[in-house]
Structure 1
Amino acid sequence: MIPVSEAEQRILSLVQPLDRDRDTEQVPLLNAAGRVLAEPVISSLDFPHWDNSAMDGYAVRYADVQNCAPDRPVTLTIVEEIPAGYQPQKVVQSGQAARILTGSMLPAGADTVVMQEDTQRQGDRVTILTDPQPQAFVRQRGSYYQAGTPLLPAGYNLQATEIAVLAAAQQASVKVYRRPRVAILSTGSELVDLDRPLQPGQLVDSNQYALATLVAQAGAEPVPMGIVPDDPEMLRKAIAQAIATADLVLSSGGVSVGDYDYVDQILAELGADIHIRSVAIKPGKPLTVATFPTPPITPSPHHPISSPLLPSPTLYFGLPGNPASALVCCWRFVQPALKKLSGLPEPWKVSYVNAITVQPLNSDRKREAYVWGQLQLVNGSYQFKPAGGSHSSGNLINLIGTNGLAVIPAGEAAIAPGELIHVLPIP
C-alpha cells in the first residue's frame, strides 16, 4: 500500500492534459457553459464602452459646482435630457447641465454627475445644493477593461458570469477544449441493471449511475459501457474497447484478491503499465491505476478510434466495487485527474477546509480514513457531522446528503467532539 498523498501525486504525474491545438472545438456561446476555454479572449471593446452615469441626476461641469452648499446653491440651465441608449447631441457649456439617467452616456463638456437628491428642478433650470467630488458618479470609459488586453485567460471554466462577460464582448462563439471521454464499466456476475427484477444474490449496479453523474459534474463526457460478468474473455474485450475509445476509463469491482478479480491480470496482458495496486485509504484500499501508451486494439466499424485520441495515453482506474469505496476513490483521486486532463489550470489537487467535528470520529489507525457526512457553515465556522448508521463501504443508504469527507490521519484511533479536523468538500 502507498500513502494517499503519494497516490495522488503519482496519478497527477500520469495525466496528460488535452492538447490546445488538437483537442479543441469552436462552440456557440449558449453551449459553452461548463466548458474550459482553450485560448485567451481579447475584446476590441472598452468596458464601459463610453463615459456614463452611475446615478440618476444631472451631468455638469465640476468647475461650475465645486463651491456649492445649501446656503450657496448654483442654478444651471438644462440643455438636454439623456435617457439610456441615447447619444447626447449637445455639449455642456459653462452654466449648463444635462438631465441624465443611470447608465446613460455622459455628454461632451460634462465631467461630474450630481445625484437628483441633491438638486431642485424648476422647468429648464436645476439648482445644485451641495458640492460633489470631482468626477462623482461617472464611470470612465475603459475603467473596467481596456480593449486589446486579455479579457479571459485560457483554462477558465466558463460559468454564468463568464458567459455574461463574453456576451457583452460580442463573442458569439468561443474555442474550448473538447470534453474528456470517460468510459465506465461495472464488473461482477451478481450485478443487474435497474430495470431487471432482482433474483436472490443479485445487486443493482448503482456504481454505473453514480460514476456517470460524477463524471458529468466534472465537465467530462460519461460513456456508460454497462455490466461485464466475471468472465476473463468478456472482461478483456470490454476493457480493450473502453481504452480504445476513451481518454480515461473507470471500472468498478474486480481489483481485490478474490478468485474472480481479474482486472489487474487483464490489464497486464493488454500491455498496461500498472502504477498503483493499493492505497492506504479507508474505504478504497484496492485501487488500481494504469496507463496504456497506445490503443491496444484495431478500430472496428462499430467502435472506431477517434484520431484525436491516438497521441495521448489512456488512464485507467480500477475502483473497488463497494459503492462507498468507489465514490470515495472517485472524489479523492479521479476528480483531480479530470481537472488536469480537461485543461483546467493548477491547482489540481483536492483542497480541504478546517471544521469542528460535532460527534466523535473513529478509525482503526491502519489507514487514512474518510468519514462521510454533512459539512455546514455555522456562525462563520465550519462544522462536520458524520452520517448516522453504519459506515460500511457497502452501505449506500447513509451516503444520502453527503457533502463532505472528514479525514482521520493514519495512526489516529479517535477524534473527540470539538476538535479541529480537515474535511474534503464534495461539490
Structure 2
Amino acid sequence: MSTSSAALVEVEAHKARVCSLLGTTPVERRGLADCLDLVLAEELLSPVALPPFDNSAMDGYAVHSGELAGASPEAPVELLVAEDIPAGRTDELSLLGGTAHRIMTGAPVPTGADAVVQVEWTDGGMPRVRVHREVKAGMNIRRGGEDVLAGTRVLAAGSVLGAAELGLAAAVGVSALPVFRPPRVLVLSTGSELVEPGRALRHGEIYESNGIMLATAVRQAGGQPELLRFVPDDVDAFHAALAPHLSTVDLVLTSGGVSAGAYEVVKDALSGHGVEFTKVAMQPGMPQGAGWYRGVPVVSLPGNPVSALVSFEVFLRPALLAARGAVDTERPRLTARLVEGLRAPAGRRQFRRGRYDATTGLVAMAGGPGSHLLSAMAQANCLIDVPEEVTELAAGDPVTVLLTR
C-alpha cells in the first residue's frame, strides 16, 4: 500500500472502526465494596427518605421553642429533662410542655419538639437544665427527606461509582448495584528481541516495556488486563500462545509486528483471519490493525512505545470506556498557545507530547516527534493535536490539547 496521504485512513474513521468492535460488557450485580470505579447500569431510585426521620443536628436538648422566649444568661429558662435520647434509640417519644429531652446528634427528634438548643447554650444539666439563649422553630433539626425523598432518583445510569456515590447507595439502604463488568483485555507483547526488565541485556536485546505500559493503560481506562509477554516472532508460536485465552477475554490487544517489513508476526498471523491492517493518517502510529480473530475483537498497535501509547489514547481508550458503560469517553480538550513553533508532516494528523500550564494557558513541547522517545511521554501531561492540513505553527499560535493527566 502506498504511504501517500490519498491511501491513508483518516484518524476518525479508524477510531470508529475500533469502537465498533466492542459492545457493552455484561451487567453484573455486585456488592458495594466491589463496585469502586465501575459504571452503574441502571438508575438507582431511593427506597427510603434521607434522612429517614427528623433528627438532631447537634448535641443538646429538644424543646418547645416558644417556652424559651426571652431566655438569656441573666434570665435563663429552667426545664425538667424528662428523657435522654442517644443516637440509635428506636422508641417513639413525645415532648410534654415545660420539659426538655436531652438529645445527641443524629437521634430522632421527639414528637412535639420544634427545635434543638445546642448544649453550649445551656448548663448541660440533668435532671433539670438551664437554657441561656432563645431559639427559633426548626433550629438544629434535620428534617426527614430534606436530602432525598423516597422514590426519587439518586444515581443516574452511567454514573461512575466513586466514594460519594457508593456512600449514597449505602445511606439509602442498598447493598448491591447492577454494574457493567470491566472489559477483559489480553495484552500481548511480541518480539524475539524483548527480555524481562531486571535481566542483563545482550547485544540486540531490549527490555520489554509495552506490555506493562498498555496493561496499566487498560486498567486506568477501567479494563481488566491480562499480560502475555515474550511471544516470539513466529506465526505458529503466536497462534499457540493466543489460543488458550480466546474464550475468556473481550479483546486481544497486541503491540508490534504490524508494519511492512519482514518478521511482522502479528500481521502475518492475523491477516486473512478477520483482522485488517491499514495505515492511518497520523504521526506517530501510522500502522494499525483491527478486526476479529476466531470471534474475539482484536486491536493491533505499532511496536514503538510512543506510537503504541498514543494509539491507545486516540483509538482504544474511548472504546474501552464505552464498553464499560461510561457516558463520557473522551479526554478533556482545550485551547492553549504554543511556547515554541513546530512543524508537522503534510496529510497526517500529528499528536505531539506536551506540558500544559493551566496558570498561563501555554503548552510546551515535551521532546521531539520521534516514536521511540518514551522519556518525553513520561514528562508530558497532554497531547497537542495538530490537524492534517497544518504543516507549521509559530510560537503563540492556538492549538488544541488533550489533557492526559
For Structure 1 versus Structure 2, the TM-score category normalised by the shorter chain is 0.7 to 0.9
- What does residue 168 of structure 2 align with? 165
Amino acid corresponding to residue 11 of structure 1 in structure 2: V
Amino acid corresponding to residue 291 of structure 2 in structure 1: A
Cα deviation, residue 365, structure 1: 4.2
Confirm whether residue 316 of structure 1 aligns to residue 298 of structure 2. Answer: yes
- What does residue 79 of structure 2 align with? 77
Q: Describe the SS at the equivalent of 1:371.
A: strand
Cα–Cα, structure 1 residues 415 and 102, in superposed 2: closer, same or farther, change >3 Å?
farther
Confirm whether residue 392 of structure 1 aligns to residue 348 of structure 2. Answer: no
Q: What is the CA–CA distance in structure 1 between the aligned matches of 2:261 and 2:387, rounded to whole Å?
A: 28
Cα deviation, residue 369, structure 1: 1.6
| Contact 1:33/1:160 (8 A) holds in 2 | yes
| Contact 1:254/1:262 (8 A) holds in 2 | yes
Amino acid corresponding to residue 16 of structure 2 in structure 1: Q
Q: Describe the SS at the equivalent of 1:318.
A: strand
| Contact 1:88/1:106 (8 A) holds in 2 | no
- What does residue 280 of structure 1 align with? 281
Alignment of 1:266-415 (within 5 A): 266-270=269-273, 272=274, 274=276, 277-292=278-293, 296=294, 314-344=296-326, 346-378=327-359, 382-387=361-366, 389-415=367-393
- What does residue 308 of structure 1 align with? none
Cα deviation, residue 252, structure 1: 0.7
Cα deviation, residue 394, structure 1: 0.5
Q: What is the CA–CA distance in structure 1 between the aligned matches of 2:108 and 2:364, rounded to whole Å?
A: 54
Q: What is the CA–CA distance in structure 2 between the aligned matches of 1:197 and 1:214, rounded to whole Å?
A: 27
Deviations 1:357-414 (A, max 9, x none): 4444442343222222334443xx6553432x43411012222243321222222234
Q: Describe the SS at the equivalent of 2:230.
A: strand
Amino acid corresponding to residue 370 of structure 1 in structure 2: F
Q: What is the CA–CA distance in structure 2 between the aligned matches of 1:57 and 1:354, rounded to whole Å?
A: 54
Q: Describe the SS at the equivalent of 2:279.
A: coil
Cα–Cα, structure 1 residues 28 and 414, in superposed 2: closer, same or farther, change >3 Å?
same
- What does residue 306 of structure 1 align with? none
| Contact 2:47/2:173 (8 A) holds in 1 | no
Alignment of 1:4-403 (within 5 A): 4-20=11-27, 24=28, 26-64=29-67, 75=77, 77-79=79-81, 80-87=83-90, 90-115=93-118, 119-121=121-123, 123=125, 124-127=128-131, 129-130=133-134, 132=136, 134-240=137-243, 243-270=246-273, 272=274, 274=276, 277-292=278-293, 296=294, 314-344=296-326, 346-378=327-359, 382-387=361-366, 389-403=367-381
Q: What is the CA–CA distance in structure 1 between the aligned matches of 2:9 and 2:265, rounded to whole Å?
A: 21
Moved more, 50-59 or 197-206: 50-59
Cα deviation, residue 116, structure 1: 5.1
Amino acid corresponding to residue 374 of structure 2 in structure 1: L
Deviations 1:255-286 (A, max 9, x none): 1211222434532322x153x62222211111
Q: What is the CA–CA distance in structure 2 between the aligned matches of 1:122 and 1:35, rounded to whole Å?
A: 48
Q: What is the CA–CA distance in structure 1 between the aligned matches of 2:334 and 2:320, rounded to whole Å?
A: 21
| Contact 1:40/1:152 (8 A) holds in 2 | yes
Deviations 1:164-202 (A, max 9, x none): 233334444444333321111122222222244322121
Q: Describe the SS at the equivalent of 2:107.
A: coil
Sequence identity (%)? 34
Q: What is the CA–CA distance in structure 2 between the aligned matches of 1:416 and 1:68, rounded to whole Å?
A: 74
Amino acid corresponding to residue 354 of structure 2 in structure 1: G
Cα deviation, residue 230, structure 1: 2.4
Number of residue pairs the alignment of both structures matches: 395
Deviations 1:110-133 (A, max 9, x none): 12334456x45484344464553x
| Contact 1:356/1:421 (8 A) holds in 2 | yes
Cα–Cα, structure 1 residues 11 and 50, in superposed 2: closer, same or farther, change >3 Å?
same
Amino acid corresponding to residue 395 of structure 1 in structure 2: L
- What does residue 5 of structure 2 align with? none
Cα–Cα, structure 1 residues 76 and 408, in superposed 2: closer, same or farther, change >3 Å?
farther
Q: What is the CA–CA distance in structure 2 between the aligned matches of 1:357 and 1:70, rounded to whole Å?
A: 66
Structure 1: 5+ residue runs without aligned partners?
A: 297-312
| Contact 2:284/2:369 (8 A) holds in 1 | no
Structure 2: 5+ residue runs without aligned partners?
A: 1-7
Q: What is the CA–CA distance in structure 1 between the aligned matches of 2:94 and 2:38, rounded to whole Å?
A: 46
Cα–Cα, structure 1 residues 36 and 61, in superposed 2: closer, same or farther, change >3 Å?
same
| Contact 2:41/2:180 (8 A) holds in 1 | yes
Q: What is the CA–CA distance in structure 1 between the aligned matches of 2:72 and 2:399, rounded to whole Å?
A: 60
Cα deviation, residue 333, structure 1: 1.3
Q: What is the CA–CA distance in structure 1 between the aligned matches of 2:336 and 2:76, rounded to whole Å?
A: 59
2:10 to 3, 9, 23: 3
Cα deviation, residue 207, structure 1: 0.3
Cα deviation, residue 321, structure 1: 0.4
Q: What is the CA–CA distance in structure 2 between the aligned matches of 1:76 and 1:357, rounded to whole Å?
A: 72
Root mean square deviation of aligned Cα: 3.2
Q: What is the CA–CA distance in structure 1 between the aligned matches of 2:124 and 2:176, rounded to whole Å?
A: 50
Amino acid corresponding to residue 198 of structure 1 in structure 2: L
Q: What is the CA–CA distance in structure 2 between the aligned matches of 1:3 and 1:40, rounded to whole Å?
A: 37
Cα–Cα, structure 1 residues 421 and 94, in superposed 2: closer, same or farther, change >3 Å?
farther
| Contact 2:19/2:316 (8 A) holds in 1 | no
Cα–Cα, structure 1 residues 356 and 76, in superposed 2: closer, same or farther, change >3 Å?
farther
Q: What is the CA–CA distance in structure 1 between the aligned matches of 2:342 and 2:74, rounded to whole Å?
A: 71
| Contact 1:8/1:349 (8 A) holds in 2 | no
| Contact 1:255/1:262 (8 A) holds in 2 | yes
Deviations 1:278-306 (A, max 9, x none): 222211111212134xxx3xxxxxxxxxx
- What does residue 301 of structure 1 align with? none
